[in-house]
Amino acid sequence: MQFGHFDKGTREYLITNPHTPVKWINYIGTRQFGGFVDHTGGALICKDDPAYNRITKYIQQMPASDFKGETLYLRLHTSDGYRLFSPFFVPTLDPLDRFECHVGLGYTRIISEFLGLRTDVIIFVPLDDHRELRNIHITNISDKPLSVDAIPLVEYTHPDALMQFTNADWLPQTMQSRAVDDGILKILVQYPFMNRDTKINYFTSNLPASSFDTDRKKFLGEDQSGTFKSPLSLFQPELNNSEALRGDNIAALLHPMGALQPGETHRLILQLGQDSSIQAARPGIEKYRQPQAVDAALEEMRAFWDGYLASLQVDTPDENMNAMLNVYNPHQCYITKTWSRYLSYYQLGMGSRSIGFRDSSQDLMAVLASAPQEGKDFIRTLLSFQKRDGSSMHQFNPLTMEGNVGHSIEMEDRPHYYSDDHLWGILAVTAYIKETGDLAFLDEIVPFYEKDKGGNPIEAGSVLEHLKGGLDFTRHDLGGHGLPLLGFADWNDTVNLPTGAESLLTANLYGKALLEMIALLEHLGDKSVMNRMFIENQSLQIQGAAHEYLAAYDQMKSRFESFAWDGEWYLRYFDAQGNPLGSAKNTHGQIYLNGQSWPVISGFASPERGRQAMDAVYKRLNTKYGIKLTVPGFNGYDPKYGGVTTYPPGAKENGGIFLHPNPWAMIAEAILGNGQRAYEYYAQINPLAKNDMIEVYECEPYVYAQNILGDEHPQFGLGRNSWLSGTASWCYQAATQWILGIRPEFAGLRIDPCIPSVWNGFSVVRRFRDRWWHITVHNPHRVCKGLAKMTIDGKEVPGNLIPADLPGDEHQVVAWLGQ
């Protein structure tokens, strides 16, 4: 069953039925000002931080029929009195004649038709601005005049999002609103009392309002029998002009539009923003009351996304893959880079999750081609949450810049660190340098997290020293087999074993990070300028360091190979007593996906064992909807294993199709040369393929979800936790760098595809190191992998590496797969 379709021309997804099984959302603005908009016009908006500076009250858990954050009512004057409806469907739930929600790049547009009125609303935040705009056109599409009023509505929350729900005494006493006359227009101002003189929310429009309300009680009806579906005040000629002195604050403006003639359109522009004072806000308010300014802002938004997406465009034989890689996947990657795991329809943004060190390190790897500067700035921030011992804080709040140790704080007898966090940072930094060639970044000084009493960092080090610190931490944090200790958890947050357990995933991630460092140091060995820097820093001698890391790599590899093989696949953990998990001997959790893919990625697996392990994945873990994380799922809570056993079998990390590690299986298959299987794993989780089965899948088909229920669960195939998942970044990396094989390296761009042998080829346009590369790959012999020949600008070149410093802005690269 479908609820909409993809529109190639506009790069939108078009929802045509408001009854989606769950709300489908889109993001507007940035973390500096923005949030998400659902497909029925509800919006969760915040400035700088959804936990501590939230503006609209959006309660994800309330039924879909409920009004959330913002809406719009239209009121027709008829001979029988007022006829009220919402062009967004919610909250009046009328059977609209037409409903379209266009999920666009940086905006959501809702077009609906009902009772002879067409309403077209574009919701967005102008680039680099601090206001939500709702650009509304209301047209009379009937053949007779229609007298209509437009009443937009915002419901406010206290800025402290959690406090809104935990305090019903102090909090409502502080919430106040007032109306400011602005010539013939009105500005409704709202604040918690303590912010009155420093930080106010405002709501205003470009048309005169004859009345307003800011007190929810008054708006709904004093006797409290009014509902948002049918507010009593909208059945009287005017609103109550209530200025809330306390309680539940809203902003409602009644705009009488008079009689619209057939074909006539009125344009209403709404602004919801926050500023230090109304005086400070006025110039911006004036600006965006002008329709030309709104049009120009929309144009700028379009230009931003044109530029962003142009950095990598593909043309393969798979249309779904093209649509995903050219539009929807990079869009999602930018959103995950912006919001980490902080705010979505599923991540409530109340502060218990926020910017994850591990998560964001991985997310930003997928924006580097399009937004390298943003990537670099973010890496710098992340590294400032690394501690002097090399480990990292697990997450941090972007407003207070306070780090924390996540859920590990809840168990006193367990370590308060995650064994993998800091290692992802190494992958992020090396990915950034491979993309940009910006070696000077390694020399930049970034503070470590620890602060003195005055809040100043106690120590700082170069980016390179941060990387080295991360490797050193893991190198010395070992358990009984000489393998890395698990800490509270590794990537799998939910397997929390008693102190002393070892993680084989962390062993492999460490191996991969070592490989990255070795390659970096080897590259630096060619650069005399960097060579000098090293000596000045007294940090490392390049040659010596590369050897040292190689020795560390070999040592961990040999421990891994001695202890981690279970017979048909690799183990995943050892508990503190040295018992294996992820073994055929276990009753539950016999085999783990990451246990198999990562030894291939780290190079610890021999080709034979790697193949055997990945075949076991195919046999034991693959389903038509994606690869499960582990089987069989645990069936009952067991404190020995922790979080994983809180889920029923088949859900999330407990035997669910946890999508984030699926692309690691694609990468492992590409490394092993099985292009068919790498692609099969890609295609089977492509969200676009879900469009015809929404009754099973339920979530947005234009983004990856974090998880799909596995086949041990009766609701096999049901997706949840869409948008904010590492799946976005890694599917993008797996598809572009490993399946299509266009892979940045320190010295240039590697062309190393691993595609299904039935493909006759593909082409890619990619921006890399300020040059445009038009790459065409032919597959005349129908193989998966291996270049027979490559030409750059018509000249045959040896090997498959495009040198980064080739003069000229644009180049044609043609490659032929085959012997």
Residue 494's contacts (CB-CB under 8 Å, 6 or more residues apart) are 642, 643, 644, 646, 647, 652, 653, 654
580 prior amide bond cis, ω within 30: no
As measured in angstroms, the least distance from the Cβ of 655 to ligand GLC is: 13
Which residue lies nearer to ligand GLC by CB, 27 or 488? 488
CB-CB neighbours of 46 under 10 Å: 27
Contact 678, 664 (CB under 8 A): no
Cα–Cα distance for residue pair 545/614, rounded to 1 Å: 33
As measured in angstroms, the least distance from the Cβ of 523 to ligand GLC is: 30
As measured in angstroms, the least distance from the Cβ of 682 to ligand GLC is: 20
Cα–Cα distance for residue pair 350/353, rounded to 1 Å: 7
User: Which tokens go with 743?
Assistant: 């892979």
As measured in angstroms, the least distance from the Cβ of 488 to ligand GLC is: 12
Q: DSSP states of 147-166 as a string?
A: EEEEEEEEEB--SSTTHHHH
Cα–Cα distance for residue pair 337/365, rounded to 1 Å: 9
User: Which tokens go with 531?
Assistant: 């060579």
Q: Residue type at 789?
A: K
Which residue lies nearer to ligand GLC by CB, 284 or 649? 649
Place of tokens 């009806």: 221
Which residue lies nearer to ligand GLC by CB, 488 or 563? 488
As measured in angstroms, the least distance from the Cβ of 616 to ligand GLC is: 21
Q: Residue type at 813?
A: V
Which residue lies nearer to ligand GLC by CB, 108 or 340? 340
Closest residue by Cα to residue 133 from 124, 142, 141: 124
Which residue lies nearer to ligand GLC by CB, 12 or 493? 493
As measured in angstroms, the least distance from the Cβ of 411 to ligand GLC is: 16
Q: Any idea what DSSP says for residue 621? A: I
Collapsed DSSP state (helix, strand, coil) of residue 804:
coil
Which residue lies nearer to ligand GLC by CB, 513 or 740? 513
As measured in angstroms, the least distance from the Cβ of 489 to ligand GLC is: 7
As measured in angstroms, the least distance from the Cβ of 494 to ligand GLC is: 5
Residues in the chain, overall count: 819
Dihedrals phi, psi of 82, to nearest 5 degrees: -85, 140
Q: Residue type at 506?
A: T
Which residue lies nearer to ligand GLC by CB, 491 or 738? 491
Q: Any idea what DSSP says for residue 88? A: T
As measured in angstroms, the least distance from the Cβ of 373 to ligand GLC is: 25
Q: State the residues that interact with ligand GLC by CB under 6 A.
A: 341, 356, 358-359, 491-494, 653, 660, 706, 725
As measured in angstroms, the least distance from the Cβ of 665 to ligand GLC is: 15
Cα of 329 vs its chain's centroid, Å = 10
Cα–Cα distance for residue pair 395/333, rounded to 1 Å: 19
Which residue lies nearer to ligand GLC by CB, 255 or 341? 341
Cα–Cα distance for residue pair 242/248, rounded to 1 Å: 12
Contact 471, 553 (CB under 8 A): no
Alpha helices (runs of H) in 195-353, residue ranges in sequence order: 216-220, 278-289, 291-310, 319-323, 329-339
Q: DSSP states of 302-340 as a string?
A: HHHHHHHHHTEEEE-S-HHHHHIIIIIHHHHHHHHHHHT
Cα–Cα distance for residue pair 367/2, rounded to 1 Å: 31
Residue 666's contacts (CB-CB under 8 Å, 6 or more residues apart) are 678, 679, 681, 682, 731, 734, 735, 738, 739
**CA distances for 549 relative to 502, 517, 554, 599, 603, angstroms:** 21, 8, 9, 18, 14
Q: Any idea what DSSP says for residue 497? A: P
Q: Are strands 771-778 and 810-817 parallel, antiparallel or unpaired?
A: parallel
Which residue lies nearer to ligand GLC by CB, 89 or 418? 418
As measured in angstroms, the least distance from the Cβ of 416 to ligand GLC is: 16
Burial class of residue 539, CB neighbours in 10 A (0-12, 13-18, 19+) = middle
Residue nearest ligand GLC, Cβ-based: 493
Which residue lies nearer to ligand GLC by CB, 493 or 516? 493
Catalytic annotation present for 420: no
Alpha helices (runs of H) in 77-125, residue ranges in sequence order: none
Cα–Cα distance for residue pair 328/700, rounded to 1 Å: 11
Which residue lies nearer to ligand GLC by CB, 336 or 779? 336
Out of 421, 493, 566, 752, the active site residue is 493
Residues serving a catalytic function are 493
